[in-house]
Amino acid sequence: MKIAIIGTGYVGLVTGTCFAEVGHEVICVDCDEAKVKLLRDGGVPIYEPGLDELVKKNTGTGRLSFTTSTKKGVEKSDVIFIAVPTPPQPDGSVDLSYIEGVAREIAGAMTGYRIIVDKSTVPVRTGEKVAETIHRYGHAGVEFDIVSNPEFLREGFAVEDLLKPDRIVVGISSQRPAQAMKEVYEPFDAPVMVTDINSAELIKHASNSFLALKISYINAVSIICEKSGANVQDVAAGMGMDERIGRRFLNASLGFGGSCFPKDLSAFIKISQELGYDFGLLKEVQNINANQMDRFLKKITETLWVLKDKTIGVLGLAFKQNTDDVRMSPAIEICQRLLKEGAKLRVYDPKAMEKARVILPEAVYLKDMNNVAEGCDALVVATEWPQFKELDLDRARKGMTCPIIFDGRNLFDMSEMEKLGFIYKSIGR
């Protein structure tokens, strides 16, 4: 198939690359000239395991190319995917101006039938608006179909998720685009669920909100564990053995963040409200998440008392493991709140330091995680990178002024840490 992807970010670049990998001819469009230049020169603007190699391989075969021109993308393709941002507005609703802008550009460039597929995460009924927009701004008599095809990839595992998806959701309002969508996804050998556009859009918001709910649920349970002397990891393990519940997303922590969960949750609450339903359950998910961060910071201040002029080491800046993405990262929020209290920070992240430096220029960035603890009054684990488990704990303890660790991700074994002489505070244990 000849495919254009408008928006070459985390979703667009990985999707375009994986489509090329399975044999489609893909042109990725982005309005960011610097990004397109970097990609054309053989660079990759984001970190995703395995992505570099696939981009190189597929640009090499000529199946993957990059441009700043939406017109060119539309001219060369039969199916056009939209993967532009849908950021939150201050009131929690979604800023749909990127989607609307791209819809107008596509409409202006279309001279014959095209299938326009929305892959960005959008509130239910956005497909209807996109169709209206294309009708309004398109050339008379040019036919098109709108499809909703929400993306479920996890950052940090995006290539793997794209190549081996657990499901593909396709929302259509007529049978005409069905065959082309089947051909796009045929090589992926995954279950395809075909539904109407509104249901497809809702599946994405309902899924992400449910996952956020699962995290907040175990975080609320972690408070009861702390108050009663139980261990949240054992509770989660015991719950997760019930296959109706499942163990995943039951990791107590300092809370969720990232570019998707917080915004999708508030967008779902907002669209529900517009449709006349007060989704109080999801508002509580947000409250629990915000409180979890406050509770973690309280643990730090209660232990260290005054933070002004204390030196604190922070392991992890990305919003989760395996990514360089720091958008809405809880780790960044901790750093900002510690800095606000006057603390000095020594920080490390395997992949996210370049992006964090722009937001946190005051911190001292270390190249080796084993140097972070040197001279620190406390160490904070803020992201669940598995390599942090390999930290030289003996060296860390010797280098610190006080051997105190606040583990916001429950990475270490409690009794082991105590044996090593640390004051060790984690979540729900």
Ligand X SMILES: NC(=O)c1ccc[n+]([C@@H]2O[C@H](COP(=O)([O-])OP(=O)(O)OC[C@H]3O[C@@H](n4cnc5c(N)ncnc54)[C@H](O)[C@@H]3O)[C@@H](O)[C@H]2O)c1
Determine the 3-state secondary structure of 26 from DSSP.
strand
Q: Judged by CB under 6 A, which of 101, 108, 187, 240 binds ligand X?
A: 101
CA distance 155 to 321: 9
**Residue from 354, 351, 356, 348 nearest 326 by CA:** 356
Q: Is 102 an interacting residue with respect to ligand X (CB under 6 A)?
A: yes
Name the DSSP letter for residue 207: H
Of 166 and 362, nearer to ligand X (C-beta) is 166
Q: Which residue has the tokens 């080796």?
A: 368
With CB atoms as reference, the residue minimizing the distance to ligand X is: 9
Q: Judged by CB under 6 A, which of 16, 85, 127, 350 binds ligand X?
A: 85
**Residue from 272, 348, 300, 325 nearest 93 by CA:** 272
> 181 — phi, psi (to 5°)?
-65, -35
Of 207 and 303, nearer to ligand X (C-beta) is 207
Q: Is 406 an interacting residue with respect to ligand X (CB under 6 A)?
A: no
Identity of the residue numbered 153: L
CB of 16 to ligand X, least distance (A): 11
Task: Say whether 260 is catalytic.
Answer: yes
Determine the 3-state secondary structure of 316 from DSSP.
coil
- Write down the number of H helices and E strands in the chain: 16, 14
Q: Which residues pair with 13 in a beta bridge?
A: none
* Residues 6+ positions from 368 with CB-CB distance below 8 Å: 348
Q: Which two tokens stand for residue 292?
A: 């979890």
Q: Is 11 an interacting residue with respect to ligand X (CB under 6 A)?
A: yes
Q: Is 6 an interacting residue with respect to ligand X (CB under 6 A)?
A: yes
Q: Judged by CB under 6 A, which of 1, 3, 4, 12 binds ligand X?
A: 12
CB of 122 to ligand X, least distance (A): 7
Tell me the number of residues near ligand X by CB under 6 A.
Answer: 27
Q: Judged by CB under 6 A, which of 3, 4, 5, 8 binds ligand X?
A: 8
Of 84 and 382, nearer to ligand X (C-beta) is 84
Binding mask 147-186 for ligand X (x = CB under 6 A): ----x-x-x-------------------------------
CA distance 41 to 120: 27
Q: Judged by CB under 6 A, which of 58, 67, 77, 86 binds ligand X?
A: 86
Of 137 and 365, nearer to ligand X (C-beta) is 137
Of 211 and 245, nearer to ligand X (C-beta) is 211
Of 10 and 296, nearer to ligand X (C-beta) is 10
Task: Give the H or E element holding residue 347.
Answer: strand 344-348
Catalytic residue among 260, 335, 376, 402: 260
Q: Is 201 an interacting residue with respect to ligand X (CB under 6 A)?
A: no
Q: Is 7 an interacting residue with respect to ligand X (CB under 6 A)?
A: yes
Q: Judged by CB under 6 A, which of 5, 51, 74, 83 binds ligand X?
A: 83
Q: Is 35 an interacting residue with respect to ligand X (CB under 6 A)?
A: yes
CA distance 123 to 109: 26
Identity of the residue numbered 74: V
Residue 27 burial (CB count, 10 A): 25
Q: Is 10 an interacting residue with respect to ligand X (CB under 6 A)?
A: yes
Determine the 3-state secondary structure of 292 from DSSP.
helix
Cα 351 from chain centre: 15
Of 86 and 321, nearer to ligand X (C-beta) is 86
Q: Judged by CB under 6 A, which of 31, 194, 230, 328 binds ligand X?
A: 31
Of 84 and 331, nearer to ligand X (C-beta) is 84
Asked if 335 contacts 365 with a C-beta cutoff of 8 angstroms, the reply is no
Q: Which stretch binds ligand X (CB under 6 A): 25-33, 188-196, 284-292, 302-310?
A: 25-33
SS (HEC) of 169-181: EEEECCCCCHHHH
Name the DSSP letter for residue 188: G
CB of 299 to ligand X, least distance (A): 29
In the window 240-259, what residues touch ligand X (CB under 6 A)? 259
Length, in residues, of the chain: 429
Known catalytic residues are 260
**Contact residues for ligand X (CB under 6 A)?**
6-12, 29-32, 35, 70, 83-86, 98, 101-102, 120-121, 151, 153, 155, 259-260
